Chains A and B, each alone.
Chain A
Amino acid sequence: MASTREIDARGAFCPGPLMELLAAIKEVEVGDSLEVLSTDKGSADDIPEWARKVGHEVVETREENGVYHVIIRKTK
């Protein structure tokens, strides 16, 4: 069954939210989702850009109280 794993990258300047996603996506199955929590506006733009470039599905991006939530589903 597909699952969603949370990556809490709030306050993560280095290596940063997208790097955390790049590491985590190797560890989950195709069909699983990853929800990245970030306080960095740049990564809220970078993560969907990378996902689209590679072909993963961008499920949702939203901001709540200064925290960006980006949900990506691994498609391959």
Chain B
Amino acid sequence: MKKVVIVGGGTGGTILANNLARRLAHELRAGQVSLTVLSASDKHMYQPGLLYVAFGRMEVDELYQDQASLLEPGIVFHVDPVEKFVLDKNHVVTKSGKRFEYDYLAIATGSRAMPDMVPGMAENAHHVYTVEAAAKTCEALRNFQGGKVAVVTGVPHKCPMVPLEITFMMYDYFKDRGLLDKVRIHYTYPIGRVHSLENVAKWAAPEFDRLGITYETLFNAKAVDGAKKQVLSEEGSVLDYDLLVAIPPHKGMEVIEKEGLGKSGFMPTNRGTLNLEGRDNVFVLGDTTNLPISKAGSTAHYEAEALGENLAALVRHGRMVRLYEGKVFCFIEAGKDRATYASFDYANPPQPKPPTKAIHWFKLAYNRLYWNSVRGLL
């Protein structure tokens, strides 16, 4: 029997498991293959929904489904996170002490916001990367009566459109509350333009100009002084704020770093095959890779599809059939009721179109359709 073990029950791990269960349905039924998912939680969270929670447009309970309900029959699921990766002996050991042997291992443990990496950020900045933080941001936005709003972005971070989206959404939020004449929004960004993607930056900068949102590039927060309400940058500038909104720097999961599998919890990964470097039967996907591409649900989704095809072919024929081509698709909310998108891969940059209401409504529909997407039906 060939054993496939998937570590992580987020977007990448779940789509991969369901993709493989369909491709290997016959082998699963015949007992020739086993497919096991090991996760830290019995719940699955739709993480992009946290942005909407911060603006009071989604409820927290809308973000969750039972993980077991999302998995195809035939998949063995345990809420038992992996604590040891014994790659030389092809097995992992879980928190409960159980040992799971594998022929093929896929690691999709994800990443987490680490506001503590910037002194003062955790105590003084609002963000949207946990349920608690999104709820606090919602309250802070609701209570805000005017002043300087500063947006700072740490590196690396997941969901690279969030800095722009939260800025545009705040603009409309304060506009609807009749506060625009009392609010000044100042956006900062770590590199020399307002977004990583050049074409997105070319669209967003004139939008900021049109809306009166000021911006500063080459700004990397070094520390936040809560008493003075200032952000100090690595580049030497000082930014005053009344309300500070941060996209905190991220790390991969602690277990990856602890096990010596990758600096900052991100694992060295082959950009085409998604193999962990130096390991033929171990693969990495989603935020856990160190690939120079967006840490986003769509990245995990497209990687899972490529890897599903390859793992099924490896189980059946002992060889891979395709390469992951670096595909990413990101919606970009451009306010409360308009959106655009960026679609790109390793070879082709995005060409974002002007925002429309139709794309915004499609994004809102996708917030619900996600549950079909993660089941592998979409």
Contact = CB atoms under 8 A, between A and B. Distances in A.
A12 B196 CA distance: 10
B234 A54 contact: yes
Contacts, number: 78
A42 B155 contact: no
Interface string B173-188: 0000000000000000
A54 B328 CA distance: 31
Nearest to B344: A13
A8 to B, nearest CB: 7
B292 A9 contact: yes
A66 interface: no
B196 A23 contact: no
A29 B293 CA distance: 24
Interface stretch (B36-44, B315-323, B346-354): B346-354
Contacts of A23: 155-156, 249, 264
Contacts of B349: 13
B280 interface: no
B197 interface: yes
B326 interface: yes
Interface string B187-203: 00011110011100000
Nearest to B189: A19
A71 B220 CA distance: 20
Interface string A43-73: 0011001100110000000000000000000
Interface string B339-360: 0001010110110000000000
A8 B196 CA distance: 16
A20 interface: yes
B297 interface: no
Nearest to B296: A14
Among A8, A40, A50, the most chain B Cβ lie within 10 Å of the Cβ of A50
Interface string A1-26: 00000011101111111111011001
A14 B342 contact: yes
Interface residues of A, number: 25
A40 B84 CA distance: 39
Contacts of B193: 42
Given A19-B190, A22-B190, A14 B196 contact: yes
A7 B218 contact: no
A23 to B, nearest CB: 4
Given A22-B220, A49-B218, A50-B191, A16 B196 contact: yes
B155 A22 contact: yes
Contacts of B271: 8
A14 B190 CA distance: 13
B160 interface: yes
Given A15-B156, A15-B292, 16 more contacts: A8-B292, A11-B292, A11-B346, A12-B292, A13-B196, A14-B328, A15-B160, A15-B294, A19-B156, A19-B196, A22-B156, A23-B264, A46-B192, A50-B218, A50-B235, A53-B235
Interface of B: 117, 155-156, 160, 190-193, 196-198, 218, 220, 234-236, 249, 263-264, 271, 292-294, 326, 328, 342, 344, 346-347, 349-350
19 contacts: A7-B292, A8-B271, A11-B326, A11-B347, A12-B292, A12-B293, A14-B196, A14-B197, A14-B293, A15-B155, A16-B191, A20-B292, A22-B191, A23-B155, A23-B264, A27-B264, A40-B198, A49-B192, A54-B220
